[in-house]
């Protein structure tokens, strides 16, 4: 995929995130997470924009090393592309994981444990109506989406390889800002994950939509202070 097309997809995602950042209490997770998702997606866009320089031999010699030769550029471009995609994926996952865990912590009690070490179990606990009825409107497709997202995250521990059973995710989002057609994403056992750029951004869009869907189900007057606020987010 051409760089400009990649940048356009990321810009579409940024615009979507901005359109959903409307919670009034700026210290609440609904506001801080949304803004952090925007910041990190924007940083990814900046990384993509700067990546153009990696194909410029004069720039690389001047800014990186005089030892770089034209024949090195292909490897530099490949390594940098992988680095910024991995960084983007990991950072967004961290924001999503924290968001879900803070929700779980807020609504659990000493006799009703929701937040546990496993983020997948924590998410499933939130969907368990015996623990909380807040998220009864989340669907089995939402559950499959999040489980697949966690499976993909787990491939990081195996340098990108899916060592567990083959799994598949079907996305069919007629309101997507990335791709409104049906898309199938596969993780094949004992193979490296092969998500192309568009599928990666589409998956991120779906996960971000899931977070906003959960936010919509939270009682408006409940205040869940984001952890980052205690260390100076919003200038406090």
pLDDT of residue 68: 96
Tokens of 43: 């940083």
pLDDT, mean of residues 182-189: 94
Q: CA 30, CA 35: separation in Å to the nearest integer? A: 9
Determine the average pLDDT of the residues in 162-188.
Answer: 94
Is the separation of the CB atoms in 170 and 192 below 8 Å? no
Q: Is 49 in contact with 7 (CB distance < 8 Å)?
A: yes
Percentage of the chain beyond pLDDT 70 is: 100
| For residue 235, pLDDT beyond 80 | no
pTM for the whole thing?
0.95
b/e sequence 140-171, b meaning 16+ C-beta within 10 Å: eebeebbebbbbbbebeeeeebbeeeebebeb
Average model confidence (pLDDT) across the chain = 95
Percent with pLDDT over 90 in the chain: 91
**Looking at the predicted structure, is the pLDDT value of residue 236 above 70?**
no
Question: Is the pLDDT score of 193 beyond 90?
Answer: no
| pLDDT single digits (tens) 197-213 | 999 999 999 999 999 99
């Amino acid at each position: 995929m051409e760089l400009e097309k990649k940048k356009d997809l990321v810009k579409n995602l940024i615009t979507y995130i901005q359109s959903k950042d409307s919670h009034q209490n700026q210290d609440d997770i609904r506001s801080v997470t949304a803004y952090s998702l925007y910041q990190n997606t924007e940083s990814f866009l900046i990384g993509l924009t700067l990546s153009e320089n990696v194909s410029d031999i004069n720039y690389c010699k001047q800014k990186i090393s005089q030892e770089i030769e034209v024949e090195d550029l292909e490897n530099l471009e490949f390594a940098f592309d992988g680095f910024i995609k991995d960084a983007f994926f990991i950072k967004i996952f961290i924001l999503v994981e924290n968001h879900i865990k803070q929700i779980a912590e807020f609504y659990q009690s000493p006799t009703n444990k929701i937040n546990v070490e496993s983020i997948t179990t924590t998410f499933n606990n939130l969907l368990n109506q015996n623990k909380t009825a807040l998220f009864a409107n989340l669907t089995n497709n939402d559950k499959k989406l999040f489980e697949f997202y966690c499976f993909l995250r787990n491939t990081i521990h195996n340098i990108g390889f899916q060592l567990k059973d083959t799994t598949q995710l079907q996305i069919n989002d007629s309101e997507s800002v990335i791709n409104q057609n049906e898309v199938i994403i596969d993780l094949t056992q004992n193979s490296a994950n092969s998500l192309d750029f568009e599928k990666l951004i589409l998956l991120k869009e779906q996960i971000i939509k899931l977070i906003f869907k959960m936010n919509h189900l939270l009682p408006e007057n409940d205040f869940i202070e984001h952890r980052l606020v205690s260390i100076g987010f919003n200038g406090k």
